[in-house]
Amino acid sequence: MAEGVRQGRLLSHFVSDSVKEVVRSKNREIAAKEGEALFVTALFCGLADFKSTIKKEKPEKLISEINQYLSGMAKVIRGNGGRIDKFIGEKILAVFDPRDFESREASVAACVRAAASMRESFGKCLLGTGHSIGIGIASGEVLMGILGPPKVRLEFTVIGDTVNLASRLCDVAMKESGGKIVM
């Protein structure tokens, strides 16, 4: 039994906060299985010029630095009321759901505050010199729910044009000198 508890604690590190919430709430679990169309603000953040860094640095150093960066950015996102949807390599997809705020406007404002704080705190996350981040933000409707074949892997996520737009805006922001926030 103790081994099962240890494994459960270990596995909980690989599960997003959103999934944990879904499992804790029967209503959220039903909605996640059925899928929900929701208005949210999506934030994508990525490291500019990261592909060239991969070719130059040792894997051990990169993994450590990326984890330091992801940890710092996740802390800022969560501190502003956002939820980490997923880490995609060195990129972060976060969602600011109006249900967690007083209004849509408040969720958008929290997302913008998070983005500004992420840019400010990025230097503290290090990753050597010459790095910058780009952030893309888009608000609109998404499909939120559990996707994937149960025998392979399930994932609680958001998809749709709003998420795709935030990703493309992030790509544009990463190409700007010094990185930018593009909304």
The most confident of the ranges 8-22, 27-41, 56-70, 94-108 is: 94-108
Percent pLDDT > 90 in the chain is 49
- Compute the distance between CA of residue 47 and CA of residue 110 in angstroms, rounded to an integer: 22
Q: Label residue 128 by pLDDT band (50, 70, 90).
A: low
Tell me the pTM.
0.84
H-type alpha helices, the chain = 2-12, 17-24, 26-34, 50-56, 59-79, 104-121, 161-175
Q: Which pLDDT does position 120 carry in this prediction?
A: 87
